[in-house]
């Protein structure tokens, strides 16, 4: 081995870089004289794997006035053929017209949509417009299934399976429907 090759062999190092957050480990063998470039490359790869601080920031949704909410409820109730009184009473009972309402069971928004139901309806429950549209559409789907408003409201409250299981309004939904 020539003297220059021995020198290069002695300068060869292993760079091990680890991020505990992702369990990523990079190991590279390189001559020491190129170590600065390899270090920059390794650090660039690590930072590329780090999640952005802003990656999961939900989009800002508008806060609407009660008059705007009433207008939206009226609009979507008419669109889906829901009597205005039923639509208004439903919103009053579900959320008291609070846009950011959240139940202990996880229902969200003015219409108290469960996140899974909202996903199925392809609406963003955080956006009051989409929450109202999704809630009214869901109520119409339930009405089309049960053909009676009391059963549709009971299904909205306790789920369609419970209405089927009890062959009518479930006991826990009787006050809700009344």
Q: What is the pLDDT of residues 128-163, one digit of tens each?
A: 999 999 999 999 999 999 999 999 999 999 999 999
The pLDDT value given to residue 13: 45
- In terms of residue numbers, what domain contains 40? 7-49
Residues 6+ apart with CB under 8 A from 127: 61, 62
Residues 6+ apart with CB under 8 A from 105: 114
> For residue 76, what pLDDT band results from cuts at 50, 70 and 90?
very high
82 found inside a domain: yes
Residue in 94, 107, 110, 170 annotated catalytic: 94
> For residue 12, what pLDDT band results from cuts at 50, 70 and 90?
very low
Our answer to whether residue 94 is catalytic in this structure is: yes
Say how many domains are in the chain: 2
Q: What is the pTM of this model?
A: 0.67
142 found inside a domain: yes
Q: Are residues 160 and 79 in the same domain?
A: yes
Q: Are residues 74 and 39 in the same domain?
A: no
CB atoms within 10 A of CB 69: 20
86 has pLDDT over 90: yes
60 found inside a domain: no
Q: How distant, in Å, are the alpha carbons of 65, 94, 132 from that of 98?
A: 10, 9, 12
73 has pLDDT over 80: yes
């Amino acid at each position: 081995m020539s003297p220059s090759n021995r020198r290069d062999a002695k300068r060869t190092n292993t760079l091990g870089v680890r991020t505990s957050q992702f369990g990523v480990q990079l190991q590279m063998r390189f001559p020491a004289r190129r170590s600065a470039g390899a270090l920059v490359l390794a650090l660039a790869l690590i930072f590329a794997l780090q999640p952005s601080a802003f990656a999961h920031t939900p989009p800002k949704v508008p806060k609407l006035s009660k008059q705007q909410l009433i207008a939206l409820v009226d609009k979507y109730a008419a669109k889906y053929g829901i009597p205005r009184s039923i639509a208004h009473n439903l919103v009053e009972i579900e959320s008291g017209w609070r846009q950011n309402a959240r139940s202990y069971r996880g229902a969200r928004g003015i219409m108290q949509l469960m996140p899974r139901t909202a996903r199925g309806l392809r609406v963003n429950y955080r956006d009051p417009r989409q929450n109202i549209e999704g809630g009214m559409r869901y109520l119409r789907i339930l009405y089309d299934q049960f053909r009676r408003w009391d059963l549709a409201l009971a299904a909205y409250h306790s789920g369609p399976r419970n209405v089927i299981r009890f062959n009518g309004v479930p006991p826990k939904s009787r006050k809700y429907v009344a």
